[in-house]
Amino acid sequence: MLPDHLIRVVDEIARSVAAGEFWWEVGIMTARGCHRVSMTFAAPPLVVRTFLLAYTATYQASVSLGEAFNRAIVDALHDKVMAACAGIAEPATVELSLAGEQAKVWVSDAEIERDASTATTIEIKGAWINDLTGETWINPGKISRGKILSRDGWV
């Protein structure tokens, strides 16, 4: 369970973002033969900065708190993703991708590299779905993501 102050951050993110582009991201390198839901959300720079600071702080406090915070945001944005995918993608597959343990919320790498303080988009990336089996695929290169975030902050 998240502390009240983090629940308020999650609620503010969900309230403040506007749905952007929805697409199926196709695995090219490590996730060959897989795809996942991806979507951008426009957000005021202050909301994005608050997200980054809270995200980093929760992971630095503990990996389990960071993962709970990440999951709370994915769940809070669920309905906006489902509305955006209507008529574009199979809802059951989108649900599976969003429910996967490696689903995450982040800020685009390009915005962080330029200047995270002016970033205006939050991205949601679902878990990878194997095209042949329809099951979620765990990216072995991302298994330690929580530990890396806990140790190094956003990378």
pLDDT, tens digit (0-9, with 9 covering 90-100), for 73-119: 999 999 999 998 888 888 998 999 999 999 999 898 788 888 878 89
Please give the full DSSP string across the chain, using - where no structure is assigned.
---HHHHHHHHHHHHH-EEEEEEEEEP-STTTTEEEEEEEEE--HHHHHHHHHHHHHHHHH-HHHHHHHHHHHHHHHHHHHHHHHTTTS-HHHHHHHHHSTT-EEE--HHHHHHHGGG--EEEEE--EEETTT-SEE--GGGTTHHHHHHHHS--
pLDDT, tens digit (0-9, with 9 covering 90-100), for 39-80: 999 999 999 999 999 999 999 999 999 999 999 999 999 999
What was the pLDDT predicted at 28?
A: 61
Q: What pTM was estimated for this model as a whole?
A: 0.88
Looking at every residue in the chain, the average pLDDT score rounds to 88
